[in-house]
Chain A
C-alpha cells in the first residue's frame, strides 16, 4: 500500500490548493505579460530601485529577527500576569493597514510626535524619522511581532523534559537546546520577513522621504498605473520572483534540522535563570515600541467613533464576511497542502510572498474581465487572493505540526487501518487545532486590512472597510477616517483573537 508509514489521504485537495496558488501568482503574472507590448528593458532607475529594495529588506529582516530573539526568549521563560494577552496584543502591528500604522508611528516618532516633544524638553534638536532608518523602523514595527511569534513557538517546542535533564546534568542549555532551535527557526523567519519587505511600497516611499527610497513594487506601480507599460511591470515582477527564489534557497541551506513538534505555549520551568531584569526589560521595551503607536491610533479614532456614517458600518460587515471567507479558505488550503507535504509544498508556500500585489490584482482583472463584470466578483476574488496571500503564514504554522503528527501517529493509525477522512478527523484535526486557529486568525486579520485587490475590482456596492477608510481620507474626512481606522484595527484584532482562542479552547493553560 502506502510507500511511507503514513495513512493515505486524498490527493486532490492539495493539488487544487496548489493550482490555485499557481494561478494567482504565476498565472496572473502570465496574464499581464501576455497583454504586454514588449519594449525596452530596465532603466538605470530600475536598478537603483532593485538595490534599495534588497538593502532595506535585508536590514529590516535582520533587525526584526535580532530584536525578536530576546523578546521571544523572555516571553518563553517568564511567567507574569497578563502574559497571554500581551503575546496576542504584541501581534497586532502585523495586521495594521499601512497608512494607519504610518500615522500611528508618526504620532510617536514624527516631528510633532511624543519622542521629539520629549527631546525638546531636554533642549535636544528634533530628529527626523524619514529616510532609510525610517523605512527600517516601520518595517521592524510591522514584522517584529511576526518574528517574536515564530521564534516563541520555537522556544516553546523544546520539550520541558530536556530542560529538566539539562538542569540535572548542569549542561549548557544555550548551546545544546536553544542554539539548534534557533538554527532551525531563525532562517525561515528571516526569509518570510525579507520577502514581505521586498514587496513593500507605501511604507518604503512614505517613510523613505523621497525617490531615493523607490522599491521595485513602486516601479511596478508606476509601470502599470502611469506608463501603462505592462511589459516592464511583468519584467519587474519576474525580478521579484528571482530575488525570492535566491533568498529561499539561501535560507534553506542555512536552516538546521527541525526541532521537535509545535509548542504548547506554556511557560517552561527553568532552573538556569538569574537576572529577571534583562528579560523584563526586553518585554517592556518591545511592548512600549509596539503598543504606543497602537494607543495613539486609539486616541485619534475615539472622538468621532459614534458619528461614523452608516456606510462605514455596512462596509465593516462586508469586510467581516470577506475575512471569514478567506480565513476558512486559507485554513483549508493550508491543511490540504500540509497533508500532502514535500518540497513542492514548501515552494508553493513562499510564492505568494514574492508576488507583487498590483500584478496579482491586474492579472486577476485581465483573467476575469472577458467573462464577468469585475465588480460582480469583487468580494469573491478578494477572498481568494487574500486566502492565498495569507497561505505562507498559515503553512508556516500548520505544516510542521502535521509533519510531526504523521511521524508520531502514522504507524499507529496505519496499524488501525485508519485512512483518509477518519485519519484526518480523528487524529490530525484535534492535534492541529492550535496552529489552525492561529492561521485562521492571521488570515482573517490580514484580509480585513487588504486594500490591494479590492481597490481594482470594487464598485460602490462592494466597498470594504479599508476602502471606505481610504475614501474618507480622500474626501478630507480625516477624523472620520481615523475612527474607521480604529474600527478596522479593533475588528481585525477581534477576529484574530476569536480564531486564536478557538484554537486553544481545550488546551491546558
Chain B
C-alpha cells in the first residue's frame, strides 16, 4: 500500500519529462565509432548544429563503416536513426539495395577531385588511401615497385575493414585483370593482415613494418597534433584510390525536415571546418578559412582512382577470391 502514495508523483514526473522532450525534437544520427569520440568531429558538430536547429542532435556510434551498414540492416525499417553518416562508396551499392534510404535533395558545390552524381548519398569528407612510412626511408614509387621490393607492409583485411576493402579496389582499379599477379608479388611484402585499421597502424608505429596502409592525410595528424614530421605518405604512379565518406537520409525518418536541415548543414562551414583536424580527412566543401596549416605539406596524387558503387558491387567477390588465393599460396 505504501508504494501507491508515490505513484501519482512518479506519473506526474514522467509526464513532465515526456512533454519536455516532445518540445525539443530529436535527430538521431547513426555513425561510426571514431566520429563520436571526444577527439572526433562529433562534439563540435553537435554544438554547432544544436545552436541553429532548436533540436537535440544525438549521435549513435557503432564500429566502423561496414559495421554501421550491418547495424542498419539488423535494425531494418524499424530503425530510430534519421541519418546514417559514415558509409563509403564501396558500401553505398549495398546500402541502396536495402531500400532504407531517401534522396538527399541537397544541391551543393562539392570540392571533390571527381564529379559527384549520386542523388541518394551526399559526401561529407574524402581522402586518398596511401602507404604511410617513415621519412628518410627508401620509398617505392608504385604498387608494382612495392611488390618488387623487399619493403615490409601491414595491411587490413578487406573482409573486416574499410581501408582493407579500399586497397582491394585500388589494386583492381589500377591493374584490372592483372590484379592477381600484383597480389602474388605483394604476398612476400605483407607482414600480416589485421582485422582493422587500429591494429595495423599500431603495429607500424611499433616498428613491425616499414609502412602501413592508411591515408595521405595520416601524416597531418602527426604533424599538427604531435608536431612530428617523421611520417610520410608514399606517392604511387598508378594513382591513389579514394575514399569518399557519405551520409544518407533514412526514408522512414519521423523528422524529415530536420534531417534535410542537417544534410544542408553538413556541407556548410559549421560542419566542414571541423573535419580536417578531427576526422583527419579532406572536407567535402573547403571551408571559407581554407585548410588548416600543415595540410599544404600533404601528398597530392597526380591521378585519383575510384570505382563506381555498382562496379564495386560487381567486382568485390571475385576480387576477394583473387586476393585470398594470391595470399594463401
A209, A373, A459, A460: the one contacting B193 at CB < 8 Å is A209
Q: What 3 pairs across the A-B complex have the smallest Cβ distances?
A: A112-B207, A473-B198, A222-B159
B residues lining the A interface (CB < 8 Å): 33-34, 36-40, 59-63, 66-67, 69-71, 73-75, 78, 80, 94, 152, 157, 159-160, 165, 187, 190-195, 197-199, 201-203, 205-209, 218, 221-222, 225, 280, 321, 323-324, 327-328
Instruction: State whether A110 touches B34 (Cβ < 8 A).
Output: no
Known contacts A209-B191, A211-B157, A225-B67; is A456 also within 8 Å of B207 by CB? no
Alpha-carbon gap, A362 to B74, bound state (A) = 8
Q: Which chain B residues border A45 with CB–CB below 8 Å?
A: 321, 324
Instruction: State whether B190 touches A209 (Cβ < 8 A).
Output: yes
Q: Which chain A residues border B59 with CB–CB below 8 Å?
A: 460
Alpha-carbon gap, A221 to B195, bound state (A) = 10
State the interface size on chain A (CB cutoff 8 A): 54
Distance (whole angstroms) from the CB of A181 to the closest CB of chain B: 40
Known contacts A210-B327, A459-B60; is A366 also within 8 Å of B198 by CB? no
Known: A111-B209, A218-B159, A478-B205. 16 other contacts (CB 8 A): A35-B74, A48-B328, A103-B203, A110-B203, A111-B152, A111-B207, A202-B199, A210-B187, A211-B328, A218-B160, A221-B195, A226-B70, A369-B74, A373-B80, A471-B34, A473-B199
Q: Which chain A residues border B75 with CB–CB below 8 Å?
A: 369
Q: Which chain B residues border A460 with CB–CB below 8 Å?
A: 36-37, 59, 61
Distance (whole angstroms) from the CB of A68 to the closest CB of chain B: 27
Q: Which chain B residues border A366 with CB–CB below 8 Å?
A: 74
Instruction: State whether B70 touches A224 (Cβ < 8 A).
Output: yes
Q: Does A466 interact with chain B (Cβ within 8 Å)? A: no
Instruction: State whether B33 touches A474 (Cβ < 8 A).
Output: yes
Q: Which chain B residues border A471 with CB–CB below 8 Å?
A: 33-34, 37
Instruction: State whether B201 touches A478 (Cβ < 8 A).
Output: yes
Alpha-carbon gap, A209 to B192, bound state (A) = 4
Nearest-neighbor residue (CB-CB) of A459 within chain B? B60
Nearest-neighbor residue (CB-CB) of A204 within chain B? B195
* 12 pairs, CB–CB < 8 Å, chain A vs chain B: A48-B328, A106-B203, A201-B195, A209-B190, A211-B193, A222-B159, A225-B63, A228-B70, A366-B74, A471-B34, A473-B198, A477-B39
Distance (whole angstroms) from the CB of B273 to the closest CB of chain A: 19
Alpha-carbon gap, A127 to B165, bound state (A) = 29
Alpha-carbon gap, A228 to B73, bound state (A) = 8
Q: Which chain A residues border B222 with CB–CB below 8 Å?
A: 476
Known contacts A211-B323, A460-B36, A471-B37; is A103 also within 8 Å of B193 by CB? no
Q: Which chain B residues border A201 with CB–CB below 8 Å?
A: 195
Instruction: State whether A106 touches B157 (Cβ < 8 A).
Output: no
Nearest-neighbor residue (CB-CB) of B68 within chain A? A225
Instruction: State whether A370 touches B199 (Cβ < 8 A).
Output: no
Alpha-carbon gap, A128 to B154, bound state (A) = 13
Q: Does A436 interact with chain B (Cβ within 8 Å)? A: no
Alpha-carbon gap, A208 to B222, bound state (A) = 29
